[in-house]
Structure 1
Amino acid sequence: MNLLFITSNRVGDAILSMGLLSALAARHPDARITVVCGPLPAPLFAHHPGVVRVVPLAKRRHGLHWLDLWRQIAGGFWHTVVDLRNSLIGFSVPRLWLIRLGRHRADSHVVEEESALLSEDRPTPPRLYLSKAQMAEAAAVVPGGRPVLALGPAANWIGKQWPAERFIDLAQRLTGPGGVLEGAAILVSAAEHERPVAGPVLEAFAGQQTIDMIGADLPSTAAALARCRLYVGNDSGLMHMSAAVGTPTLGLFGPTDDQRYRPWGEQCDFVRAPQGWRELIAAVDSGAVPGNRLMDGVTVEMAQEAAEALLARTEKADG
């Protein structure tokens, strides 16, 4: 049976959809799944169970990318088309079943919203699958023997970025003398164009072991994060990636909706600014608060307390 799975261009949303993809693969173990997504997250689907083909869909003007896709897939018959982008593709190809997103469910996480498409009693957590070769390469970059604290200080909007000096302060508290990760190495991850934001955080720990993953490709980054003891970062695709490889993950939220986009999983937690995200957006729109100050309500003390509690909880679960 052939199954077509159309998901997001964005890294974070594509990773969150992996829960639904896993549920479909488990429900149809003999399915041959074709995944359609943006070029950036495409490599992350290569080793997912049931996936036989990944089609990177680069946007073109006037929606011509959908015509490109139709030309590639219209010749076959699809048992099920799952379209999380609500395009017209599902109506234009031969298929038996079509599953599309409806209206957003109030106060529901994206994972819960998508799992409802299959009427799951309990959502299947997003999981990112990596190859043995990728994990072996990561072992050379992130050697064992000491814990590693991973930091994600960048985001796709300055309003979501916790100040770099607070990342530095937090990491010093966690990895310094008496810290819960005393002596841990520091891994910093971001896209190459985000080096001006993430680089100063890395440079602040030049006196201890550091791992520079700024600009690394996404599969290599995922494999490295899977070897870390804790990830702390802004609301971003990297945050969801860390959660999807099973690393204890603490997300930092301000002007985005934690109810929909918090990191998903029992090994995850989040802290947010005291103001609601709508209030923060309104403050920016009115000019009352500059865009680069929206995360100020998240203090280092808040993040430290949450990080220590998360580590204690995951260690208890592991023990």
Structure 2
Amino acid sequence: MPDAQTPAGPAQPRILVVRTRFVGDTVLAIPFLRNLRRHFPSARIDVLVEKGAGSVLADCPYKDELIIAPAPPQSRGPFAGLRANAAWLRARGYDRAYVLKRSVSSLLPVWLAGIRHRVGFAEQGGGMLLSRAVRIREHRHEVEVFLDLLRADSIPIDDGHNENWVADDAGRKVDAILRDRSPGRGRVFVAPRSTAVEKEWPVERMARVVNWLVVNRGCDVFFCGAPRDMGMHERITELAGLARGGRVHDLTKDLDLRHTGALLSRMDLCLGIDTGLLHVAASHGVPVVALFGPTDPNQWCPWGTPVEVLRSPRTVKPLSQRLQESLFPATVAGLRWPTGIADIHDIDVDGVIAAVDRLLAGRSRAAG
């Protein structure tokens, strides 16, 4: 039964969840969706996503449908798209919405659609468009930030565990590729590329780790990303002194994002910078070695899986942040990693190899 503080609604409410853009942010919504479904087992739950990133939720059983907003009309003024999206949502008849984004631009269509119960974040002035507005606690993990929207609605939360699913067809395709290219060897997925260049680790160093994985550890290495990533994959392979198609495999041309999730589920380890594919790996329970630079691992550490985070101990903080932490020390009490901006170039190869070795050893012991 819904908590007494949760507004009453129809016996089978129609619920909209908004989580557009970015693979990592989208897959981190799975614990939220599970707890929402537990509380509303008979509800219609649709998730508004973008065409690319949304496919990481394709096999999630907690939603009814992934929906994508229609393309905005052409040449009808700056607000035509906003009005069209609001009308489209209104026609779908939702009576409650959870907006898992911080931007007012994500809230406006939901508000204009007249959805009665709206829960989201108070940042950027969004509180005035919401029935329940939640303040984000700094340095809080993104999974917990999403779950805080349910807590604000008096919806009970489970342990927040991570999970993901592989459809039979996707699993069969990936398994056939692995039987052909990597029979009986350890498998490590490497994710070296980001849309933000300041998050990337030097390719020369990544190449040294790839070489160690193949030569010293006897592993096969897998890449799979966007087409624009292939140049970096090839460069790392060349610098590692390894032949492409031998023990290093770039499956970018073979697999879409949904099948990349299936591939990640078959890996022994995932190594990479702070990017969405690490979160997909973690959702399948794959151990992760994550290299962090300017982003905050307290917020973005891979969730619910064995993980080693490497980050420079030297961080830079703007004066405003130093003052805030001095005046309000409770905001940083108990954090696993220091706050501030770190330089990913401070991470050395030996530290990464040691972290990879520890997790691979743990994986071997668990398998045995």
Output the TM-score relative to the length of structure 2.
Answer: 0.74
Which residue of structure 1 lines up, in the alignment, with residue 119 of structure 2? 99
Cα distance in 1 for residues equivalent to 2:230 and 2:305: 31
Distance apart, 1:155 and its partner CA: 0.9
Please say if residues 263 and 269 of structure 1, whose CA atoms lie closer than 8 Å, have aligned partners that are also in contact: no
Please say if residues 89 and 113 of structure 2, whose CA atoms lie closer than 8 Å, have aligned partners that are also in contact: yes
Q: Is it true that 1:115 corresponds to 2:126 in the alignment?
A: no
Which residue of structure 2 lines up, in the alignment, with residue 299 of structure 1? 348
Q: Is it true that 1:140 corresponds to 2:140 in the alignment?
A: no
SS of the counterpart of 1:33? Answer: strand
Which residue of structure 1 lines up, in the alignment, with residue 20 of structure 2? 8
Q: Is it true that 1:72 corresponds to 2:88 in the alignment?
A: yes
Cα distance in 2 for residues equivalent to 1:39 and 1:63: 22
SS of the counterpart of 1:255? Answer: coil
Unaligned runs of 5+ in 2: 1-11, 122-133, 322-341
Distance apart, 1:314 and its partner CA: 4.4
Q: Which letter does structure 2 place at the counterpart of 1:82? A: Y
Output the TM-score relative to the length of structure 1.
Answer: 0.85
Cα distance in 1 for residues equivalent to 2:98 and 2:314: 36
Please say if residues 166 and 262 of structure 2, whose CA atoms lie closer than 8 Å, have aligned partners that are also in contact: yes
Q: Is it true that 1:51 corresponds to 2:87 in the alignment?
A: no
Superposition pairs of residues 59-208 of structure 1, within 5 angstroms: 62=78, 64-85=80-101, 87-95=107-115, 97-101=117-121, 102-119=134-151, 124-143=160-179, 144-177=183-216, 182-203=217-238, 204=240, 205-206=242-243, 208=246
Please say if residues 188 and 202 of structure 1, whose CA atoms lie closer than 8 Å, have aligned partners that are also in contact: no
Q: Which letter does structure 2 place at the counterpart of 1:35? A: V
Q: Deviations over 1:225-283 (max 9, x none)?
A: 1111111001111111111222111111011111111111132231112222647xx9x
- Equivalent pairs: percent with the same residue? 24
Which residue of structure 2 lines up, in the alignment, with residue 285 of structure 1? none
Please say if residues 250 and 268 of structure 1, whose CA atoms lie closer than 8 Å, have aligned partners that are also in contact: yes
Aligned equivalent of 2:308, options 263, 269, 272? 269
Distance apart, 1:316 and its partner CA: 4.8
Q: Which letter does structure 2 place at the counterpart of 1:87? A: L
Aligned equivalent of 1:229, options 249, 253, 268? 268
Distance apart, 1:112 and its partner CA: 1.3
Cα distance in 2 for residues equivalent to 1:27 and 1:175: 47
Cα distance in 1 for residues equivalent to 2:276 and 2:32: 17
Cα distance in 2 for residues equivalent to 1:133 and 1:68: 36
Q: Which letter does structure 1 place at the counterpart of 2:17? A: F
Please say if residues 257 and 277 of structure 1, whose CA atoms lie closer than 8 Å, have aligned partners that are also in contact: no
Which residue of structure 2 lines up, in the alignment, with residue 20 of structure 1? 32
Cα distance in 2 for residues equivalent to 1:161 and 1:152: 10
Aligned equivalent of 2:46, options 28, 34, 50? 34
RMSD (CA atoms): 2.7
Unaligned runs of 5+ in 1: 283-292
Q: Deviations over 1:34-75 (max 9, x none)?
A: 110122112222221132221224786946544333232212
Distance apart, 1:110 and its partner CA: 0.6
Which residue of structure 2 lines up, in the alignment, with residue 290 of structure 1? none
Distance apart, 1:318 and its partner CA: 5.6
Please say if residues 190 and 223 of structure 2, whose CA atoms lie closer than 8 Å, have aligned partners that are also in contact: yes
Which residue of structure 1 lines up, in the alignment, with residue 252 of structure 2? 214
Q: How many residues align?
A: 303
Which residue of structure 1 lines up, in the alignment, with residue 326 of structure 2? none
Q: Deviations over 1:91-144 (max 9, x none)?
A: 334545322123321221111111122235555234333311011111122235
Q: Which letter does structure 1 place at the counterpart of 2:303? A: W
Distance 1:224 1:96, change over 3 A: same
Q: Which moved more, 1:120-129 or 1:143-152?
A: 120-129
Distance 1:157 1:3, change over 3 A: same
Distance 1:59 1:299, change over 3 A: farther
- Return the index of the structure with the highest Cα Rg: 2
SS of the counterpart of 2:285? Answer: coil
SS of the counterpart of 2:345? Answer: coil
Q: Is it true that 1:253 corresponds to 2:292 in the alignment?
A: yes
Cα distance in 1 for residues equivalent to 2:308 and 2:69: 32
Distance apart, 1:197 and its partner CA: 1.7
Q: Is it true that 1:311 corresponds to 2:360 in the alignment?
A: yes
Cα distance in 2 for residues equivalent to 1:47 and 1:222: 10
